[in-house]
Every structure is written in C-alpha cells, then in structure tokens.
Amino acid sequence: MNTRNQEKTHSKIKQLEVAEKIRCLIVGSGPSGYTAAIYAARAHLSPVMYQGLQPGGQLTTTRDVENFPGYPEGITGEQLMKDLRKQAEHFGTDVRYGTVTDVDFSGDVHKILIDNERLIEAETVIISTGATAKYLGLESEDRFKAGGVSACATCDGFFYKGLDVAVVGGGDTAAEEALYLSSLCRKVYLIVRKDHLRASPVMQARVMKNNRIEVLFKRNTKKLLGDTVLREAVLIKNMGEEGEEEERISIDGFFLGIGHTPNSYPFSKYVKTNTGGYIITLGRSTRTNIPGVFACGDVQDFTYRQAITAAGTGCMAAMDAEKYLGEKE
C-alpha cells in the first residue's frame, strides 16, 4: 500500500463512527488464533475473531499433519483447522470473515478498521496473522503444492523418506532444510542461484561435508514437471551467461528455503518489529510494546514455525490478555 492510500485508509478511522466495542479481538486464525480463541472464550472474554485472507492459515494447504499431538493416524491440515475452529466456536468465539486494513493504537482503547468500512474498538488485541512463505512464483509451484512442493521440511520431510528431493536457496534457512532432509532422504539437491552460498561459514561447512547433499550452483528453476505428483525439476544453468543450458533432475519433493514474510502490516506502524518484520514480544510473554496488544504464532516466531508452538503461544496470548484486563479493572 502506497503512502497516499495509507493516508486515505487512516483518515477513515477518524471519520467513521465506532460500530462495535469488544473486550478481546483476535486478528487471524490458524493454530495460534484458534487456540487463543478457545482460551479467551473459556475465560469469558467474549472473543471476536476475524480470520483474514486465508482462514485457517498456512496449515490449510498442508496435505498431512502427523506431528500435532492427539492424532496418532495423522490428519489433514484443513481438517485440523476445522476442528480447532469448531472447538473455539463451541465455547462462544464469534468467528467472522474479514481483514484488518488499518489500526490506531495511539490511545488506551485500540481502534481497528475491518475491510476499510467497519470500525471496532477493542480493549485487547491478539495478533495471530502468521507469516507467508516465499515462493519462486512459478505456475507449476501452485500445481504441486499438495503433491511435492513444500515450504517446511520439518513439517513434510517425513513423507519423502528414502526419496530424492531438492531445496531452493543459498542462505541459512535453505542449508538447515537441506541438512534436516539429508537425515531422511536418499539424495538432496541444493539449488543455489549464485556461485556461492550465503549461509554462515559453519552451515556451509556442514552442507559441503554431507555426502547426501549435492550443491548445484548457478542454477535457476524454470518449471516443475509431473502427473498428479512431482517427478522432475527443469533447471537453467548459467542463466544469461555463456554456456547457458537446460538440465533436469528427477525429484519427488521440492522445498522452498528462501524465507518467510511475517504478516505484520498494518500493525507495524505502532507495534515494534525486528529487521525481518517479525513482531517483537517482551520477555517470555506475548506482550508487545503497546499495552493491551499481544502477538502469537508465526508473526512473532522466526525460529520454530510449527503448528504446536504456534498453538502454545496462542494459549499464552489469551492468558496474557486475561491478566491485562483483570489488572486494568
């Protein structure tokens, strides 16, 4: 959003009348948001949740989840989110469709603009908007998201045990993904666009010493091929240079290791974030620098990024909000 649009949107907060006043607003869904809703509802905070652009969060695009406690046979990400939503609603959470387009956290009562047209005042706000994995932008990536393409090796690596996979990226994230997959997979190709790795020296050394990892320098991914599941990746070697040529590698899995973008806008105008855009929480709590505003899940976690850890911080955020309201009253 450009500066002019920001000014127009922010001016709407000043122009609109408050349509509703609530005690606890949860922005975003997913494991953290739904867990926060369950705890907030049971604490009689009458939570209202706006699910955002992707109801249920990133996990709804995950085929099988086998590492979330309580599901010995595994469960699809979509069904897990449906179960969590049902539980949140069972205890009284008001779950709505809508997106936060602007906020004003300058006063004691927090003002939130929904879909550029509805103004809400909230005593507490729990931000659980998650983070969006970065993709290459290939049309074939979307085609194989449920059949070979993943942005989380820890989540999906087990399904490729004994198979050949590829990881894209040259930084620490990609190196970590490749090393993790090497403990499960028969072969790991690390596809690096440049002629060197950007990862830390320690991570580089570990990658280069690992005989299951083959680093493919100066390669760009052109497209992914397969029938119902991924079978091949088409790469361009030395793109735009002398000796440019096309090559193919046979793979069963294609992992993105080029980072995530935290969905911290438009809160970052008031809430402090780090250089990567992740919301900074204080100490071991979910409190932000703004009293009454809390953050949980992947929007503030750039280390673990797991459904179970997101759910844990959702619990913390609801308890922190309950404590804040109790002390205020």
* Residues acting as catalytic residues: 152, 155-156
- Both tokens of 305, joined, read 């990024």
Choose among 105, 33, 57: nearest CA to 318: 33
Choose among 312, 278, 282, 314: nearest CA to 296: 314
- Both tokens of 185, joined, read 């997979």
Bond from prior residue into 291 cis (ω within 30 degrees of 0): no
Residue ranges of E strands in the chain = 20-27, 48-50, 94-96, 100-104, 110-114, 118-127, 131-133, 149-150, 164-168, 187-191, 213-216, 219-226, 230-237, 245-250, 253-256, 260-262, 293-295
Per-residue b or e along 54-93, where b marks 16 or more CB atoms closer than 10 Å to that residue's CB: bbbbbbbbbebbeebeeeeeebbbeebbbebbeebbeeeb
Burial class (CB in 10 A: 0-12, 13-18, 19+), 53: exposed
Instruction: Count other Cβ atoms within 10 Å, centred on residue 285.
Output: 15
Torsion from C-alpha of 76, 80, 85, 90, nearest 10 degrees? 130
